[in-house]
Amino acid sequence: MAHSPQYAEEMNAFYDRTGSSYSATRRPDPRIANRIMEALGDSASVVNVGAGAGSYEPSDRLVIAVEPSSTMISQRAAGSAPVVQGIAEQLPFEDDAFDATLAILTVHHWTDPGWGLAEMRRVAKKRVVVLTWDQVIWESFWLIREYLPCICDLDRRKALAIGDIVSALGECEVVTVPIPHDCMDGFHGAYWRRPEAYLDPRIRSGISTYASIHQDELDHGLRRLASDIQNGTWEKRHRELCDADEIDLGYRLVIARMDHGG
């Protein structure tokens, strides 16, 4: 379960480049935040690994963030949790030093996810909580299926099988995280009921996949999307989505409970 050094380099460059536009579009959604807090249970101390600008960092517990990118660190709000510049594969903490470790939409960026997950398990006494996605369900998303199929290949390159994460962590619960239609966090699936958002370069600039996509393929897909939105084809084809409040796009919380408590 390891990514190529070239992939890791590409991603590090993305986060070093993106900085402010990333934190402008990535804001925690309170409904998703609630699910994460529930997953952390009564853990009083938490290490947020691959913390980025600090989305979903609990404010009611002791938190230490770990993040490799200086640009991402510089985007952290004043007063947010203290941050250590480092990587998941080498957490600078003793065994069982914290109640919980948390990794939000980051494991797929790590050079060696298996090693990083073992580190998360090593430093946590009670819980390991990972937010990730199921690639098979993700590929059924209309944006990818109908307009940008090239995203399948790009995302497959970085996706981790949920089963592999579970194998690395030991016994786990896997919880579906449905995405609300008005999701406030601008990650890739957030705009499933607001198709015009994908036409906005500012929104795309906060989504790492678009840093690797071929310009011709992107232009072609977005031109067709713009035209389908304008002539009503998109709405006709996705009427059932327009009435849905939330959908399952494959986002999953993987929770290892070493305390086996509530």
Ligand X SMILES: C[S@@+](CC[C@H](N)C(=O)[O-])C[C@H]1O[C@@H](n2cnc3c(N)ncnc32)[C@H](O)[C@@H]1O
Q: Which long-range contacts (CB under 8 A, 24 or more apart) does 150-156 make?
A: 150/213, 150/214, 150/217, 150/221, 151/209, 151/213, 154/209, 154/212, 154/213, 155/209
Check residue 39 for interaction with ligand X (CB under 6 A). no
| Among 43, 55, 75, 101, interactor with ligand X by CB under 6 A | 55
Question: For residues 129-168, which are near ligand X according to CB under 6 A?
Answer: none
Stretch that binds ligand X, among 33-41, 101-109, 167-175, 210-218 (CB under 6 A): 101-109
Asked if 134 and 250 count as a contact pair (C-beta separation under 8 A), the reply is yes
Is the torsion defined by CA of 133, 194, 181, 49 positive or negative? positive
| DSSP assigned state of 184 | S
∠ Cα 35 36 40 (to 5°) = 120
Check residue 50 for interaction with ligand X (CB under 6 A). yes
State the binding string over 194-233 for ligand X (x if CB under 6 A, else -). Answer: ----------------------------------------
- Nearer to ligand X by Cβ, of 74 and 167: the residue is 74
Question: For residues 2-31, which are near ligand X according to CB under 6 A?
Answer: 11, 15, 26
| Among 18, 25, 43, 69, interactor with ligand X by CB under 6 A | 69
For the bound state, the minimum distance from the C-beta of residue 193 to ligand X, rounded and expressed in Å, comes to 21
Q: What is the size of the binding site for ligand X (CB under 6 A)?
A: 23
| Among 47, 104, 172, 255, interactor with ligand X by CB under 6 A | 104
For the bound state, the minimum distance from the C-beta of residue 152 to ligand X, rounded and expressed in Å, comes to 19
Q: What is the chain's alpha carbon radius of gyration, rounded to the nearest angstrom?
A: 18
| Among 47, 49, 83, 123, interactor with ligand X by CB under 6 A | 49
Helices (H), 96-214: 113-123, 135-138, 142, 150-158, 162-169, 201-204
d(CA 101, CA 157): 25
Give the residues across from 133 on adjacent strands.
251
- Nearer to ligand X by Cβ, of 77 and 244: the residue is 77
